[in-house]
Amino acid sequence: MSRPMRLGEMTTVEAAEAVTGSPVVIIPAGAFEQHGPGMPLATDQIRAEAVVDRVVTALGGRAVIGPALPVGVSPHHLAFTGTVSLTSTTFAALVREYADNLHRHGWRKVLVVTGHGGNNATLTTVAQDLLTTHPDLQFAWTPVTALAAEVIAGMRVGEVHGHSGEAETAQMLFLAPHLVHQDRLAAGARSRADLGPLAGLALRGSPPTLTVRYDRLSENGVLGDPRRATSEDGAAIVDAVVRRIVAFVEEWLTT
């Protein structure tokens, strides 16, 4: 009988076998933050978990799903009700303690898949700090949507798109359509002309990097036009993301 692919659904006896049988632990990280008038606060977590499920399934037992990180670093969305954000310090402590405990049990490869870009920097600082404290642990992390840049480039996206826009909405239409209120989807800024000077500067797409609160970027919290999203595009994005991560893990397992 096959072992479950979620560590949380294993017994401790099964977990002990998984340390050698499934040497990679993959942790989904999301956010609990506004996604405009039509999508739910848990959007990033839902996408991360769906991707991780597909990745672990594809890896056929060589990886297990670790404990989730359902809340991320989202101070830029705090002006929108419902957003719950961790400080970067607390999010880092959380990831570090997950990694330390898995390492204690014998795992040496931990991968965090984050549906929320606001977690990227903190995940990098954790990776840096672990080099000193856990030199024999290999810690990797990856965003979701960014892995499908080529697919998105082939979609009909506007000049400005991003948070709660075409690509995120497409993924949600494919993965959790019951949580997308298509009738309430509304566009935010779609072209650079729609942006004020500060938002224009913050969204140039190249450094210097200016971090700005989302309520100063977009009145409804959206960048781009989610109404253009289709479930088909979402499937293509998810598929590309999963393939990229699976390819990485397969190469990783040979190192």
Q: Map the footprint of a copy of itself across residues 102-121, applying CB under 8 A.
A: 102, 104-106, 111, 118, 120-121
What are the Cα distances from residue 90, in Å, to 4, 31, 69, 211, 251? 30, 14, 12, 20, 32
Name the token pair of 227: 């109404």
Residue 2, Cβ density class (10 Å: 0-12 exposed, 13-18 middle, ≥19 buried): exposed
What are the Cα distances from residue 97, in Å, to 64, 65, 102, 104? 18, 16, 9, 10
Helix, strand, or coil (residue 69):
strand
Query: How far apart are the C-alpha atoms of 118 and 206, rounded to whole Å?
Result: 16
Confirm or reject binding of residue 236 to a copy of itself (CB under 8 A).
no
Cβ neighbours for 68, distance < 8 A, ≥ 6 positions apart: 27, 28, 29, 30, 45, 49
Confirm or reject binding of residue 122 to a copy of itself (CB under 8 A).
yes
Of the residues 87, 154, 177, 232, which one makes contact with a copy of itself according to CB under 8 A: 87
Minimum CB distance to a copy of itself smaller for 104 or for 193 = 104
Amino acid letter, 248? F
Of the residues 2, 13, 191, 193, which one makes contact with a copy of itself according to CB under 8 A: 13
- By CB under 8 A, the residues from 65 to 84 that bind a copy of itself are 66-68, 70-71, 73, 75-76, 78, 80-84
Tell the smallest beta-carbon distance from residue 187 to a copy of itself (Å): 15
Query: How far apart are the C-alpha atoms of 217 and 235, rounded to whole Å?
Result: 28
- By CB under 8 A, the residues from 167 to 226 that bind a copy of itself are 179, 181, 184, 197-198, 201, 206-213, 221
**Near a copy of itself by CB under 8 A, which window of 9-17, 154-162, 166-174, 232-240?**
9-17
Minimum CB distance to a copy of itself smaller for 106 or for 156 = 106
Decide if 234 contacts 173 (C-beta within 8 A): yes
Confirm or reject binding of residue 88 to a copy of itself (CB under 8 A).
yes
Tell the smallest beta-carbon distance from residue 21 to a copy of itself (Å): 12
- By CB under 8 A, the residues from 130 to 149 that bind a copy of itself are 130-132, 135, 138-143, 146-147
Confirm or reject binding of residue 250 to a copy of itself (CB under 8 A).
no
Confirm or reject binding of residue 254 to a copy of itself (CB under 8 A).
yes
